[in-house]
Structure formats: structure tokens, C-alpha cells
Amino acid sequence: MALGDSYTAGPGIPSRSGTPTGCDRSDHNYPTLVAHELGVETVDFHDMSCTGATVDDLTAPQTTDRGTNPAQLSALTTHTALVTLGIGGNDIGFSELIRQCAKSGILYFATGSGKYTGNHAPCRGQYVDGTTDTVRQKINTVGDRLADTLAEVRRRAPQARVYVVGYPGILPAAAGDCGRDMGLAPGDVTFLHQEQQQLNTTLRQRAEDAGAGYVDTYAPSNGHDVCSARESRWVEPLVPLAPAAPVHPNARGERGMADAVINTIKASKGS
């Protein structure tokens, strides 16, 4: 059973699969690849992931521009044996955060790249004021809600092995040439990277607290971010050069995430 958002669904990667079509699931997303690798029969494989999904959409129907996806947890039963869950990015508005920072970056580069202001992270200041970080606050809220979700998954599917799947690296830790390529000020590349790391840390902690497994897709994706070489990147930039949604995994990325899930499952079986 696969639950999750667009990083699970794989929008833009050929070919589209399942209903509603508005969820933009790919038949080469990581849940499908994992199911194939583990020899799961088609009749036993259920991919409920949907582009745009938030934690709310796990327990309530999600309306898309082409149909309604049922509450994702509705597919769980007492016979469910395996659950993967990738969620949280939409709850903190990460895609919008990147777009907003790109807008700030355009102005940054047009006005001397911080030469006159000394501010190399103009976007960060819109979200961080002293010790108050509004993105971190949203991440903490996601963590609390994920804890409740995992308890509900356990109630509905008590025999299932449950794995929370983290997000692969989207941006490098340091800007290098990445900032200009993505339209991001160098300090904002670091800011966004740190916020994503915090989200993954929170997902891991909540998974472990609930007795679920955690799949680290960040470590294997290191060096394959949006600013890496076109032929090796896992995540496409704002203007994709391979079939994928902007700032989302391409087919290589979904394959890498699938490998991380499979390796984690095999390791947990052996422990």
C-alpha cells in the first residue's frame, strides 16, 4: 500500500496510471517499482498517492482537477501487509517556498547580487525573524499530525510493516553555481536546504517514535540534486529537462527512491 504526495506519485513521468487521473500517478513511481521488485501481485498492490496531497488528504477525499481521490487511509485493511508513506512537503508549502525564493532571487541578481545590501538570503528574511522561523513551526505541526496519522494506520492495519519515506535532496548544502541556475540567492539555497533537512529529521523522529521504519532517500540522492548534471540528477529544476514536474523527481529519482525503500525493507527483515 502506497500513501503520499507528488514525490510518491511521480507526476510527469511516463506513463500515467490509475484513477483519478488528476493525481498524476506514474507507472514508474517508486511504489510501483518496489511492488515489482518484491513480487507483489497486481491485485494486492494499491497506490493511493496523489499530487498535491497533504496530511488532511490521508483521512478525507482530495479533489483534483480531474476527479476525486478517496481518503488514502480508506484503502487500508486488517490484511494490509506493507505501507509506505511519503507526506509533509505540501503541508509546509515547500514548492511555493521555492517559487517565492526564486522571485526574491530575480531581484537579488538584478540589483548587484547583494553588493549594495550585503544580504545574500533575501528570501530567508521573509520567513525567519530572530528566533521565529515560520517554516519550522509548520514542520513541527506536520510532525504532530504525522504521529496521529501513524497511530491511525496502525489501528486500521495492525499487521502491516509501516515505513515513512523521507524526501531526496532537492538543493545542495552550499550554493556554488546552483543559486543562479535556480534563480536563488546563495544564502537562500542554504536556507531551503536546511529547512528540507529539518523536515526529514522530523519525519524520521516521528516514524521512530511510532515504531515505524524510516527510509532515508536523502543520503543516496546526495550529489543528485536539481543543480547536478542533467544526466545524473534525481530532481528536475524549475524548468524540467526530463519528463517530470518542476522541482520533482524524474524517473532516475523514483528509481533511486525505490532502491532506498527496498534496501530499508531488506535491512529491517534481517535485523
Q: Is residue 114 domain-resident? A: no
Whether 73 and 4 have beta carbons less than 8 Å apart is answered as no
Q: The CATH number of the domain where 77 resides is what?
A: 3.40.50.1110
Q: Is residue 259 domain-resident? A: yes
Task: Please give the C-alpha separations between residue 45 and each of 34, 84, 265, in angstroms, as whole numbers.
Answer: 10, 12, 16
* Threshold 0.85, pTM exceeds: yes
Active-site residue identified among 36, 46, 248, 268: 248
The pLDDT, as a whole number, for residue 271 is 52
Active-site residue identified among 6, 17, 26, 221: 6
6 is catalytic: yes
How high does pLDDT run on average in the chain?
Answer: 96
The pLDDT, as a whole number, for residue 178 is 79
The pLDDT, as a whole number, for residue 180 is 72
Q: How many domains does the chain have?
A: 1
Whether 153 and 162 have beta carbons less than 8 Å apart is answered as yes
Instruction: Note down the domain range covering 252.
Output: 2-93+136-173+196-270
Q: Is residue 119 domain-resident? A: no
Task: Show the low-confidence residues of the chain (pLDDT under 50).
Answer: none
Q: Is residue 184 domain-resident? A: no
Q: Is residue 101 domain-resident? A: no
The alpha-helical segments, DSSP class H, found in the chain are: 6-9, 30-38, 94-110, 134-156, 178-182, 186-209, 218-221, 251-270
